[in-house]
Chains A and B, each alone.
Chain A
Amino acid sequence: MNSEKSLINLVKKGDKKAYEVLVLQYQDRLVFSVYKFLKDYELAQDIAQEAFVKAFKNIEKFRGDSSFYTWIYRIAINTAKNFLSSKSRKSEIYDDEIMELKLSESAVTSENPENILEAEELRSLMMDAIQDLPDDIRTTLSLREFDGLSYEEIAEVQNCPIGTVRSRIHKGREILDKTFSKYNMSNLETNLI
Chain B
Amino acid sequence: MSKLFEQKLSLLMDGEITPFETKRLVDEIHSNSHLRSLWLRMNKHKAAMHGELLDQNLDLSKKIISQINKSTQNTKTLKTWPKFNFLSPTYMKACCYLIGFFFILSLPLLNLPSPSSTVSSKQNLLSLNNEALLLDLGANFNGNLKDYRITSSSSMEANYFIPGDEKSVRLKVFFDRIPEQEWLGTINNGVTVHTKSGSTPLILNLSSENLPNQRLIKISNTFLEKNK
Contact = CB atoms under 8 A, between A and B. Distances in A.
5 nearest CB pairs, A to B:
A6-B22, A6-B19, A28-B47, A123-B51, A122-B48
Interface stretch (A13-21, A91-99, A100-108): A13-21
Contact of B39 (A24, A35, A48, A151): A24
A19 B59 contact: no
Given A21-B26, A166-B7, 8 more contacts: A2-B15, A9-B19, A29-B50, A115-B55, A122-B48, A150-B16, A176-B45, A177-B38
Nearest to B68: A56
A151 B7 CA distance: 14
Contacts of A120: 51
A53 B67 contact: yes
B68 A19 contact: yes
Interface of A: 1-7, 9-10, 15-21, 23-29, 31-33, 35, 41, 45, 48-49, 52-53, 56-57, 115-116, 118-120, 122-123, 125-127, 130, 144-145, 150-151, 166-167, 169-170, 173-174, 176-177, 180-181, 184, 187
Contact of A53 (B6, B39, B68): B68
Contacts of B193: none
A20 B30 contact: yes
12 contacts: A4-B15, A28-B53, A28-B55, A32-B52, A32-B53, A48-B60, A52-B60, A53-B71, A122-B51, A150-B16, A166-B11, A181-B41
Nearest to A115: B54
B150 interface: no
A7 B22 contact: yes
Contact of A119 (B19, B52, B69): B52
Given A24-B59, A29-B47, A1 B15 contact: yes
A170 B13 CA distance: 10
Interface of B: 6-7, 10-19, 22-23, 26-27, 29-30, 36, 38-56, 58-61, 63-65, 67-69, 71
Contacts of A166: 7, 10-11, 16
B54 A28 contact: yes
Contact of B61 (A9, A18, A20, A151): A20
A32 B42 CA distance: 17
B54 A20 contact: no
A42 B217 CA distance: 69
A125 B56 CA distance: 13
A119 B7 contact: no
Contact of B54 (A21, A32, A151): A32
A130 to B, nearest CB: 7
Given A24-B61, A41-B54, A52-B60, A32 B16 contact: no
Contacts of B69: 16
A149 to B, nearest CB: 10
Contact of A151 (B14, B51, B59): B14
Contacts of A45: 58, 60
Nearest to A56: B68
B68 A170 contact: no
A35 B54 CA distance: 9
B38 A3 contact: no
A57 B71 contact: yes
Given A16-B65, A28-B47, A169 B54 contact: no
Contacts of A118: 53-55
B67 to A, nearest CB: 5
Contacts of A17: 26-27, 29-30
A180 B57 CA distance: 12
